[in-house]
Chains A and B, each alone.
Chain A
Amino acid sequence: MSPQEVNYLTAGHTLRSWFFTTDHKRVAILFSATITMFFFIGGGAATLMRLELATPQGDLVSSDVYNRLFSMHGIVMVWFFLIPSIPTTLGNFMVPLMIGARDLAFPRLNLTSWYLFVFGGAVTLYAIFIGGIDTGWTFYTPFSTMYSNGHVILAAVGVFITGFSSILTGLNFIVTIHRLRAPGLTWYRLPIFIWSLYATSVILVLATPVLAITLLLISLERFFGIGIFDPKLGGDPLLFQHLFWFYSHPAVYIMILPGMGVVSELVTCFSRKTLFGYKFVAWASMAIAVIGFFVWGHHMFVSGQSVFAGLVFSFMSFMVAVPSAIKVFNWTATLHKGWVSYDAPMLYALAFIGLFTIGGLTGLFLACLAFDVFVTDTYFVVAHFHYIMVGGMVTAYFGGLHYWWPKIIGRMYPEYWARAAAILIFFGFNMTFFPQFVLGVLGMPRRYHTYDPTLQVWNVLSSAGASILAIAYLLPLFYLGWSVFWGQRAGPNPWNATGLEWQTWSPPPKHNFPESPRVHRGPYVYTPEAVAVPQNA
């Protein structure tokens, strides 16, 4: 039988073989179906918000409904789309392949992670369905615990359950990368995507439990009416914020590190060059993960925390920008004098570098105490984090999806449609979010559904951009879906790349490799004539 006939997709057609699978590749597909659904739910909330904001008056929805919309948008996009996105889909699929293993260290734990994700998602969706919450995804106390009339405890429980899904994924990756590497695959021969996922997993494992206990505490406070975080009863609301942001700031690095890993793969493959400064890039990923734990107080500059603490967190926030900048410089140096081709994955990688730089730089502005006081809780902050999370991470996710699509499905996507979508996404994205920097500096607060009429032109630009972005994001759903049935069949290595994942069939067989590969060199080895030298050749 040919590789097209015997692979992980064809090995078992029953529902049981999918819903009780322990094959990391099938689990990755289960996750991608689920997170795609959540992406459109979160996107739906955003659509309603941008429709409301096209006019200065609050005429589409009431303020209470608007509060519930942005809360839903944040919760769904952060916990049910961005945090799982690359790790549970591209990560689950590619990690064993890229390290020459037959599966992850704990395959059953992997499936458990998906079921926990679905269960937590169901609870949260139910909470949203019966009315949602109005606290924002940040659950600040004492509003969330004492005054809100939304379904806070239910939403907190949903996120709590989903947190365990994150932890199990991170745990699995860490042990897998430590112990299941193929013979000859030393740490410094690992692809940067693996380094990035390792760094991400460290954050997943160490930060998420603090979120879990924090959600538990606010549930207790709300249920029993006790004042852990309520100043009227002796508590301190800032304790909640410290605990919450200790998780939620590293969480944003969960929401960018995997994207950076993807970009390293794309930039090397599509410039046919080895990565400039490999060790720097590898350790920069770890540095982001570690230093990222020291900066959370920059979300609290105006909260009432002490000035000393503000100073410390501001300084550390400057420090954390350094490894990110190192990566941007190294990618640029990799592109320099490379044989650059502009296939769709590369378009996404290039977009990432530009948009992430803007997002990152504006993050540095926000790290300055004085400037932050001026723009905190305005649309400047909203624009900053959307440039990183959407312009960065989502873009990288699409880049990786297109790059590895032939490996996952065994068929190529239609290239011209893909390039068109990438370009449309780029324009739609900038049109949506660049005006929001202006709005922020002009003083428009976030989380408000009305605004001063003089700001309307920028809001209209942003909403118009959002409509373009919405169409642009729908395009891949159609042409990728089409390619599953009618796309051109792909060989093992359609991009002529060097990684181990390209040294097996497309789609891969159930246990990945007919026999365990033996690695002889690092990733990204290309001859001066731009010929790929695979890691196991």
Chain B
Amino acid sequence: MHEAQPAFQYATLEQQHDAAQLGMWTFLATEVLFFGGLFVAYFVYRFGYPADFAEAGRHTKIVIGALNTAILLSSSFLVAWAVTAAKLDFGRLAAGLLVGATLLGAFFLALKGYEYVQEFRERLVPGVNFQFEAPHARGAILFFIFYFAATGLHALHVGIGLVILLAIASRARQGAYSICYHAPITVAGLYWHFVDVVWVFLFALIYLVGRSGA
């Protein structure tokens, strides 16, 4: 159908695609455990300092957090759309959608940066200028260590994702993908959606703590 040939160690393109997807899912499993270590620390210290975590959670900016969640969910929607479009030879549309997702991702990072600056001004950065009300400081600093470590690591993954999406968009625009050959765009999509899944959990654990309390 198209010119693409499987690599020499594969018998068919389908086998190669399947291997690529399995490979990406394996990599995503490693990412679950990588972020997971941070989640363990979070759960342990939330269990140990429930009141401190609740107070610290109330200092997070839920409007920005909620907006960022909606942004990432929407960018995932665009990517999912783009992948199906590319498979049906709508390469230019796919490229446009991927660029749209990239812009949303960039907006996410911009909001995150603004949020970090606010937190710096409010003296909430552990190891730099952290200051918190007396009874809750011990647990609060642990909350904010988790916050910066996890969202920082996540932001790094978003940044890498932006580069990947743009590279794929460029190839999609040239009509590189089709129903026969679409492993790169599918696999890039998996990575981006996973970054979204991580954020979904981060949002729940960071921005919603202590909201129902004083």
Query: Which B-chain residue is minimally distant from A220 (CB atoms)?
Result: B149
Q: Among the listed B37, B45, B139, which residue makes an inter-chain contact with A217, where contact means beta carbons less than 8 Å apart?
A: B37
Instruction: Say what secondary structure dominates the interface of chain B.
Output: helix
Asked if A205 and B30 make an inter-chain contact with CB atoms under 8 angstroms apart, the answer reads: yes
Residues of A contacting B34 with CB < 8 Å? 209-210, 212-213
Instruction: Say what secondary structure dominates the interface of chain A.
Output: helix
Q: Could you tell me the distance in whole angstroms from the C-beta of A161 to the nearest C-beta in chain B?
A: 14
What class of interface size applies to chain A in its complex with B? 35 or more
Residues of A contacting B41 with CB < 8 Å? 217, 228, 239, 243
Residues of B contacting A105 with CB < 8 Å? 9, 19, 23
CB of A248 within 8 Å of the partner chain: no
Asked if B15 and A179 make an inter-chain contact with CB atoms under 8 angstroms apart, the answer reads: yes
Q: Could you tell me the distance in whole angstroms from the C-beta of B3 to the nearest C-beta in chain A?
A: 21
Asked if A209 and B145 make an inter-chain contact with CB atoms under 8 angstroms apart, the answer reads: no
CB of A225 within 8 Å of the partner chain: yes
CB of B160 within 8 Å of the partner chain: no
Q: Among the listed B37, B44, B126, B138, which residue makes an inter-chain contact with A224, where contact means beta carbons less than 8 Å apart?
A: B126
Asked if A209 and B33 make an inter-chain contact with CB atoms under 8 angstroms apart, the answer reads: yes
Asked if A205 and B44 make an inter-chain contact with CB atoms under 8 angstroms apart, the answer reads: no
Asked if A233 and B141 make an inter-chain contact with CB atoms under 8 angstroms apart, the answer reads: yes
Asked if A228 and B37 make an inter-chain contact with CB atoms under 8 angstroms apart, the answer reads: no
Asked if B8 and A234 make an inter-chain contact with CB atoms under 8 angstroms apart, the answer reads: no
Asked if B22 and A224 make an inter-chain contact with CB atoms under 8 angstroms apart, the answer reads: no
CB of B122 within 8 Å of the partner chain: no
Asked if B138 and A171 make an inter-chain contact with CB atoms under 8 angstroms apart, the answer reads: no
- Given A106-B23, A180-B9: A226 and B33 within 8 A (CB)? no
Residues of B contacting A501 with CB < 8 Å? none
What class of interface size applies to chain B in its complex with A? 35 or more
Q: Could you tell me the distance in whole angstroms from the C-beta of A303 to the nearest C-beta in chain B?
A: 15
- B-contact 0/1 string along A180-214, CB 8 Å cutoff: 10000000000000000000000001111110111
Which of A49-57, A96-104, A474-482 touches B?
A96-104
Q: Could you tell me the distance in whole angstroms from the C-beta of B100 to the nearest C-beta in chain A?
A: 30
Residues of A contacting B66 with CB < 8 Å? none
CB of B113 within 8 Å of the partner chain: no
Asked if A179 and B38 make an inter-chain contact with CB atoms under 8 angstroms apart, the answer reads: no
Q: Could you tell me the distance in whole angstroms from the C-beta of A345 to the nearest C-beta in chain B?
A: 29
Asked if B40 and A242 make an inter-chain contact with CB atoms under 8 angstroms apart, the answer reads: yes
Q: Report the bound CA distance from A234 to B143 in whole Å.
A: 11
Asked if A205 and B26 make an inter-chain contact with CB atoms under 8 angstroms apart, the answer reads: yes
Asked if B33 and A102 make an inter-chain contact with CB atoms under 8 angstroms apart, the answer reads: no
Q: Could you tell me the distance in whole angstroms from the C-beta of A215 to the nearest C-beta in chain B?
A: 10
A-B contact pairs, 12 of them (CB 8 A): A102-B8, A178-B19, A179-B18, A179-B19, A180-B19, A213-B35, A213-B37, A220-B149, A228-B142, A234-B49, A236-B44, A239-B44
Inter-chain pairs besides A217-B38, A225-B127, A228-B142, 12 sampled, C-beta below 8 Å: A175-B22, A180-B19, A205-B29, A206-B29, A209-B30, A209-B31, A210-B33, A210-B36, A213-B37, A214-B37, A234-B139, A243-B40
